[in-house]
């Protein structure tokens, strides 16, 4: 098209461009290059395919590697939509206002760089975060914290870097009704862990259970990128960064408390429960009770708001294996009964219960039922107290207190156990929760809309097993030695004073009996 076009040719070109965003972009799209200035938009095959998807499907979700020009090709589509369609209302949202307005600027630049005769609609209102065309079409960029678009009917909603938007599920709930008149949506992002809105909708799109058409674009979809490029690009990148920025890997991206590689290692070694029982069939058993092996039961009790589950784990202490697990929504009374009956089946081992508000109700019922081996700790510093001493110490409370002091400790112990492969986990339910157990604002917690009940029960178990039980074993051994010393001393008792022999025998018998009873009670901490 070196020579000037005739009016007929111009009309023909406008019609062709208006019918096909691919034709429009390939032939007339011009973009700003940081070094080369304004240049033709060389749309690669994957970019052209994406333009076609934008027209063929009402809802598009794009899982992408970085630096593939997806924001630019999206801007080209938006330019085409605004230019050749009247009164289109487009909203671009992102976590940061600058991210959203950058896409708006790209749209504006594409329209301004068109041949004069192709600008069938011109910019009439031009602001920093928005602009309008003479045909009534308009576009606005907004941060996700703003209220833009929530009361307006939208023709197109673009969500840029969707995986990095906090509380996007709430925003989607607010904006989705604005698309009810036929509006479209384009959500694009690199991955950022699992459990967020973007991950959920990608998974559902792959399964065909939502309205989104999903496209995955790995780093090597770009024709100019090869193995050498990848090796150079990733030389100074962590495994997590590579997964997030280039490989479109949800499981390794994000900031999970437990490293994704460790989670995957355990997932590959999970086994099917031997039994699935209980009133809700949520009590999973991998190994029945073996009297020769000591056990520990740890429970996390739901807060009572209906969102959380109650959960418990049974640990085989010597082999460090989780042999049974429960998660469900029983009432506190029912949960106490479940724990009581299960503990009886496993020889009445120590039962550790998180003593939140509902937890105290469970602890009270177990105490009322006469359960002999409940975990106790001191107020304030949360130090373990054996059941014997707990009877006469005033600053002792039943159960384990999860606080700002103890939570990092138990989570760190769990991470240590898993990192070093010191514990055997059979449950895929537990490991699934770990995928959404993340660092948020420096605190380990479940992602929004997810639970961590199994994780916390497991973490408390790791901590108690590695601290309390070890100390209890030391105490038992001490008392064994104490008894042995008493027994040995009997042969050296003097009988030269009349009556002394009988007195000493009586006294020592009493001391031996007390020590034996003391040791017997301690033994209950570690033996089932």
Please state the domain extents for the chain.
Answer: 17-245, 260-466, 470-526
* Count of residues making up the chain: 528
Q: Which candidate, 58, 106, 53, 57, places its Cα nearest to that of 78?
A: 106
pLDDT greater than 70 at residue 475: no
CATH for the 260-466 domain, from 3.40.50.1100, 3.40.50.300, 3.30.420.240, 3.40.50.12780:
3.30.420.240
pLDDT category of residue 92 using cuts at 50, 70 and 90: very high
> For position 448, what pLDDT does the model report?
77
What share of the chain has pLDDT > 70, as a percent? 85
253-304 tens-digit pLDDT? 667 889 888 999 999 999 999 999 988 899 999 999 999 999 999 999 987 6
**For the chain, percent of residues with pLDDT exceeding 90:** 57
Of 194-198, 276-280, 393-397, 405-409, the range with the lowest mean pLDDT is 393-397
| Stronger pLDDT, 471 or 78, i.e. the higher one | 78
pLDDT band (50, 70, 90) for residue 305: low
Output b/e per residue, 137-153; b: 16+ Cβ within 10 A.
bbbbbbbbeeebbeeee
Reported as a pLDDT band with limits 50, 70 and 90, residue 480 is low
Task: Give CA–CA dist 367/336, Å, rounded.
Answer: 10
**Mean pLDDT, residues 213-236 taken together:** 93
Query: Do 17-245 and 260-466 fold alike per CATH?
Result: no
Distance in angstroms (rounded) separating the CA atoms of residues 38 and 32: 4
Among 103-117, 159-173, 514-528, the range scoring the smallest mean pLDDT is: 514-528
Pick the most confident of 47-61, 275-289, 362-376, 471-485.
47-61
Q: Indicate the SS3 state at residue 502.
A: helix
Going by DSSP bridges, is the β-strand pair 443-446/437-440 parallel, antiparallel, or unpaired? antiparallel
Q: How confident is the model at residue 526 (pLDDT cuts 50, 70, 90)?
A: very low
In this prediction, residue 509 carries a pLDDT of: 42
Residue 176, pLDDT above cutoff 80:
yes
| Cα 80 from Cα 86, distance rounded (Å) | 11
Would you state the pLDDT for residue 225? 93
The full 3-state SS of 439-492, as one line of letters, equals: EECCEEEECCCCCCHHHHHHHHHHHHHHCHHHHHHHHHHHHHHHHHHHHHHHHH
Pairwise pLDDT comparison (321 vs 238), residue with the higher score:
321
* CA of residue 374 relative to chain centroid, distance: 31
Q: Average pLDDT for residues 217-221, to the nearest whole number?
A: 95
Tens digits of residue pLDDT in 11-32: 999 999 999 999 999 999 998 7
Tell me the whole-structure pTM to 2 decimals: 0.60
pLDDT at site 256 = 83
State mean pLDDT over 199-228.
92
Collapse the DSSP code of 113 into the 3-class scheme (helix H, G, I; strand E, B; otherwise coil) and give the result: coil
Q: Class assignment of domain 17-245?
A: alpha beta
Q: With cut-offs at 50, 70 and 90, classify the pLDDT of residue 484.
A: low
- Looking at residue 528, its pLDDT comes to 37
Among 378, 324, 56, 16, CA closest to 212: 56
Position 469 scores a pLDDT of 61
Residue 519 has pLDDT above 80, yes or no: no
Identify the CA nearest to 446 among candidates 436, 461, 435, 455: 436
Structure confidence at residue 407 (pLDDT)? 87
pLDDT interval class at 508 (50, 70, 90): very low
Q: Look at 492 and 280; give whichever has higher pLDDT.
A: 280
- Lowest-confidence pick of 92-101, 329-338, 425-434, 463-472: 463-472
């Amino acid at each position: 098209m070196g020579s000037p076009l005739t009016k007929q040719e111009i009309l023909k070109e406008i019609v062709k461009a208006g019918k096909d965003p691919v034709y429009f972009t390939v032939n007339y799209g011009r973009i700003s290059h940081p070094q080369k200035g304004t240049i033709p938009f060389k749309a690669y095959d994957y970019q052209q395919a994406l333009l076609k998807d934008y027209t063929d499907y009402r809802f598009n979700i794009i899982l992408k590697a970085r630096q593939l020009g997806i924001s630019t090709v999206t801007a080209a589509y938006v330019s085409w939509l605004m230019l050749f369609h009247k009164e289109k209302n487009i909203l671009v949202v992102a976590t940061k206002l600058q991210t959203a307005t950058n896409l708006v600027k790209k749209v504006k630049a594409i329209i301004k760089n068109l041949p004069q005769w192709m600008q069938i609609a011109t910019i009439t209102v031009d602001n920093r975060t928005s602009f309008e065309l003479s045909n009534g079409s308009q576009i606005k960029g907004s941060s996700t914290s703003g209220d833009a678009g929530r009361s307006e009917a939208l023709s197109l909603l673009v969500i840029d870097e969707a995986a990095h938007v906090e509380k996007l599920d709430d925003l989607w709930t607010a904006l989705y009704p604005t698309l009810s008149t036929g509006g479209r949506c384009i959500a694009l992002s690199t991955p950022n862990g699992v459990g967020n809105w973007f991950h959920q909708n990608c998974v559902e799109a792959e399964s065909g259970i939502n309205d989104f058409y999903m496209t995955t674009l790995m780093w090597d979809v770009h024709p100019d990128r090869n193995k050498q490029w990848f090796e150079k690009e990733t030389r100074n990148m962590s495994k997590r960064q590579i997964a997030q920025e280039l490989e479109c890997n949800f499981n390794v991206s994000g900031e999970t408390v437990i490293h994704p590689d460790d989670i995957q290692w355990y997932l590959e070694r999970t086994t099917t429960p031997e039994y699935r029982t209980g009133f809700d069939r949520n009590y999973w058993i991998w190994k029945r009770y073996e009297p020769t092996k000591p056990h520990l039961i740890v429970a996390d009790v739901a807060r009572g708001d209906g969102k959380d589950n109650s959960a418990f784990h049974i640990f085989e202490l010597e082999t460090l294996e989780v042999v049974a697990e429960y998660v469900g929504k029983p009432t506190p009374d029912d949960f106490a009964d479940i724990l009581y009956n299960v503990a009886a089946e496993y020889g009445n081992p120590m039962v550790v219960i998180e003593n939140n508000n509902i937890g105290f109700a469970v602890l009270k019922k177990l105490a009322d039922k006469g359960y002999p081996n409940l975990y106790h700790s001191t107020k304030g510093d949360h130090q373990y107290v054996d059941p014997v001493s707990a009877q006469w110490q005033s600053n002792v409370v039943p159960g384990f207190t999860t606080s700002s002091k103890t939570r990092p400790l138990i989570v760190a112990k769990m991470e240590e156990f898993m990192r070093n492969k010191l514990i055997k986990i059979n449950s895929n339910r537990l490991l699934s929760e770990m995928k959404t157990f993340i660092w948020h604002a420096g605190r380990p917690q479940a992602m929004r809309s997810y639970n961590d009940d199994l994780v916390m029960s497991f973490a408390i178990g790791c901590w108690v097993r590695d601290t309390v039980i070890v100390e209890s074993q030391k105490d038992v051994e001490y008392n064994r030695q104490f008894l042995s010393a008493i027994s040995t001393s009997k042969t050296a008792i003097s009988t030269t004073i009349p009556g002394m022999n009988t007195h000493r025998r009586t006294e020592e018998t009493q001391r031996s009996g007390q020590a034996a009873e003391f040791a017997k009670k301690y033994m209950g901490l570690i033996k089932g």
